[in-house]
């Protein structure tokens, strides 16, 4: 099972440039998790809605051209699955009108999976937005844990909008305490890990530095690799043994983020 998460920063723009088509054809993943799709289904052409190889699920923001998430799943893979359902809501979580949650739940080989594409809020627009971001974090954590208690294998991928530790950001000192590298956000990741969820890439790359997933396009910081690692896969620690590989796909352009690929034994 190969799952790739990518904040595309506008799925129509990536498609228009041809980057999306080349990426999907090359990677041949079972799942693509997209964030910041910035559009609604009726604005998308046939490639984004009637793909020959993928079922395409979208959760768009009410506001056109903003946020939104998606899950694409390979049709051949789903032939062996049952009880498939798509969910777009977490109880009492803020910003649900912004399309920030896509959840695909299904049964395969008598195991129940819930796979998430999540676009966490930035939180920097206002004091209210900051408070809502912190609530959003806690509600996502609670939802994941409830599904785990119910016997689901939970895989959460997406743009988490926080660099966890100093080695996850190129300019830690100058960004300390700012949104995206604030102690309260970083503490949420700590709580997640304490609750036996793993940051899949970091578990395998404990001391690796200079690996990032987002760069500021205005300052062309990707050319100098001055970035932030804010895109993650989180998985129940008990399934760590099922991980075959995980890597950031730094050669993929088309967005201000790069994709992250996860391979699991079924």
Q: Where are the beta strands (DSSP E) in 147-222?
A: 153-159, 197-199, 214-215
| Spatial distance between the Cα atoms of 229 and 212, rounded to a whole number of angstroms | 4
| Spatial distance between the Cα atoms of 8 and 11, rounded to a whole number of angstroms | 6
Rg, the chain, Cα only: 17
Among left, alpha and beta (phi > 0; psi -120 to 50; other), residue 224 is alpha
Among left, alpha and beta (phi > 0; psi -120 to 50; other), residue 75 is alpha
Looking at the DSSP bridge assignments, the partners of residue 153 are 113
**Annotated catalytic, 159?**
yes
Strand order across the 231-236 sheet:
81-87, 101-108, 111-119, 153-159, 231-236, 197-199
| CB-based contacts of 247, cutoff 8 Å, min separation 6 | 201, 260, 261
Q: Tell me which of 76, 159, 176, 256 is the catalytic residue.
A: 159
What residues are annotated to the active site? Answer: 159
């Amino acid at each position: 099972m190969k799952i790739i998460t990518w904040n595309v920063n506008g799925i129509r723009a990536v498609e228009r440039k041809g980057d999306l088509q080349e990426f999907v054809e090359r990677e041949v993943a079972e799942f693509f998790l997209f964030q910041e799709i910035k559009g609604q289904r009726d604005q998308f052409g046939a490639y984004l809605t009637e793909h020959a190889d993928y079922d395409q699920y979208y959760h768009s923001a009410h506001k056109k051209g903003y946020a939104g998430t998606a899950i694409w799943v390979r049709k051949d893979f789903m032939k062996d699955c049952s009880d498939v359902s798509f969910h777009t809501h977490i109880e009492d979580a803020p910003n649900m009108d912004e399309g920030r949650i896509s959840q695909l739940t299904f049964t395969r080989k008598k195991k129940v999976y819930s796979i998430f594409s999540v676009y966490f809020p930035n939180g920097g627009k206002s004091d209210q937005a900051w408070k809502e971001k912190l609530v959003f974090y806690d509600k996502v954590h609670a939802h994941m844990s409830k599904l785990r208690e119910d016997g689901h294998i939970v895989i959460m991928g997406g743009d988490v909008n926080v660099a966890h530790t100093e080695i996850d950001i190129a300019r830690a000192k100058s960004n300390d305490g700012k949104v995206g590298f604030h102690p309260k956000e970083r503490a949420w990741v700590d709580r997640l890990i304490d609750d036996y969820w793993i940051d899949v890439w970091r578990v395998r790359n404990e001391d690796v530095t200079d690996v990032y997933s987002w760069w500021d396009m205005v300052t062309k910081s990707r050319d100098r690799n001055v970035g932030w690692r804010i895109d993650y896969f989180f998985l129940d620690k008990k399934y760590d043994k099922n991980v075959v590989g995980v890597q950031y796909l730094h050669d993929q352009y088309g967005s201000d983020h790069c994709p992250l690929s996860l391979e699991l034994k079924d």
